[in-house]
């Protein structure tokens, strides 16, 4: 198993002239992985590369960190099945703009569209492909092993930042002009949350069991299937489940309700008019391209969906990380009150 961690960091930065914007899909190999996962056809890689390969994320690449004496709260973010570290740039950027440092992991458990690591020999790379459930193996056992590795990587990410805050150096193998040590006096590690989408949502729930320093979790359309029943009573901290309208099953909803019945602070809300991919950057693809890859899209305008999701998350994070901010203005979203939100998990609604 490759040691180390792979992540993209989103953080509040100082404005500067001539800042470059990073590519959304960091390398062409990721288009191959995406084509394989989403379309089942690796040969579509070149077409996907033409369609999305030159998209850029509207942020300043390696911009100077905006200092904050009280320290920024930290969010560790876990991606969904077949995704990778940059496909949630819209939600991660949004949260960073409100004063968080967000570490978006790329998992090495064969659940990313593809990923790579650099072994000890300088200048070499080893790619880790996406892996489907092997024939003859039960899906639960395969996915359960992955979710434990993913949650462990979330804990290791937290250890990395705890080390940096304690003055330990964190050497990076990839060439970069940004020194992680600038975070040393700019993080408040008493205020740490874990967050994720789909497979990443259930990863965030499990991370709460593995690490008490995570004060709460935000689970976007969590895929609850891989988590063993025995662990539900062990989840010590509150979870905010933000679901889309069409993805959840009654079994998955029942699992969320098991957690909310054990913790009065856990919340379950649904954003009406949204589909599973609306919580990723894919929501911002042109309609025809989205439909080609994923089928039907949600009826709620993507920016509105992103605003509701981030505002609900911010209200929940303020409550459980004890933040001195104005995010309480969105508290009603946590009760499922407002346009386009509903409490709980609605089934069979004909909203789309």
Q: Provide φ and ψ at 196, rounded to 5°.
A: -175, 170
Among 36, 109, 221, 278, the active-site one is 221
β-strand partners of 244: 271
Helix, strand, coil shares of the chain, percent, nearest 5, are 40, 15, 45
User: With contact defined as beta carbons under 8 Å apart, do 73 and 317 qualify?
Assistant: yes
181: tokens are 């040590």
Q: How far is CA 160 from CA 77, 172, 241, 301, 348, in A?
A: 14, 12, 27, 37, 44
112-131 exposure pattern, b = at least 16 Cβ within 10 A, e = fewer: bbbbbbbeeeeeeeeebebe
Q: Is 36 a catalytic residue?
A: no
Among 78, 90, 198, 252, the active-site one is 198
What one-character-per-residue DSSP string does 191-242 give? EEEEEEETHHHHHHHHHHHH-TT--EEEEES---TTS-GGGGGG--S-EEEE
β-strand partners of 268: 241
Residue 125 CA to residue 246 CA, distance in Å, equals 39
Q: Is 179 a catalytic residue?
A: no
Q: Is 276 a catalytic residue?
A: yes
Among 79, 148, 276, 320, the active-site one is 276
Q: Provide φ and ψ at 86, rounded to 5°.
A: -105, -5
Residue 24 CA to residue 168 CA, distance in Å, equals 30
Residue 241 CA to residue 57 CA, distance in Å, equals 26
Give the up-direction half-sphere exposure of residue 79: CA atoms within 13 A in the CB hemisphere: 28
Residue 352 CA to residue 349 CA, distance in Å, equals 8
Q: At what angle do helices 302-321 and 89-97 cross, to 10 degrees?
A: 50
Cite the active site residues: 198, 221, 276
């Amino acid at each position: 198993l490759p040691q180390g961690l792979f992540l993209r960091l989103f953080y509040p930065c100082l404005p500067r002239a001539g800042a470059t914007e990073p590519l959304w899909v960091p390398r062409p190999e990721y288009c191959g992985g995406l084509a394989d996962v989403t379309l089942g056809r690796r040969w579509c890689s070149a077409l996907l590369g033409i369609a999305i390969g030159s998209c850029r994320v509207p942020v300043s690449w390696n911009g100077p960190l905006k200092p904050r004496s009280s320290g920024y709260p930290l969010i560790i973010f876990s991606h969904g099945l077949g995704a990778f570290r940059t496909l949630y740039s819209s939600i991660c950027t949004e949260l960073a703009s409100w004063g968080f440092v967000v570490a978006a992991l790329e998992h090495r458990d064969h659940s990313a569209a593809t990923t790579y690591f650099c072994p000890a020999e300088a200048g070499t790379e080893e790619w880790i492909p996406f892996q489907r459930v092997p024939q003859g193996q039960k899906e639960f056992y395969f996915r359960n092993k992955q979710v434990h590795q993913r949650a462990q990587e979330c804990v290791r990410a937290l250890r990395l930042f705890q080390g940096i805050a304690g003055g330990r150096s964190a050497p990076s193998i990839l060439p970069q002009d940004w020194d992680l040590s600038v975070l040393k006096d700019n993080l408040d590690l008493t205020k740490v949350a874990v967050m994720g989408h789909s497979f990443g949502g259930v990863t965030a729930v499990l991370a709460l069991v593995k690490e008490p320093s995570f004060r709460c979790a935000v689970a976007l359309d969590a895929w609850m299937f891989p988590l063993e029943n025995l662990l539900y009573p062990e989840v010590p901290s509150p979870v905010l489940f933000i679901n889309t309208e069409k993805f959840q099953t009654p079994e998955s909803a029942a699992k969320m309700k098991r957690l909310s019945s054990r913790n009065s602070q856990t919340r379950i809300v649904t954003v009406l008019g949204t589909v599973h991919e609306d919580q990723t950057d894919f929501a911002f693809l042109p309609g025809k391209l989205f439909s080609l890859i994923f089928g039907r899209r949600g009826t709620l305008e993507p920016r509105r969906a992103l605003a509701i999701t981030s505002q609900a998350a911010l209200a929940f994070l303020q409550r459980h990380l004890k933040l001195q901010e104005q995010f309480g203005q969105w508290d009603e979203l946590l009760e499922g009150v407002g346009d386009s939100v509903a409490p709980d998990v609605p089934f069979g609604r004909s909203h789309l």
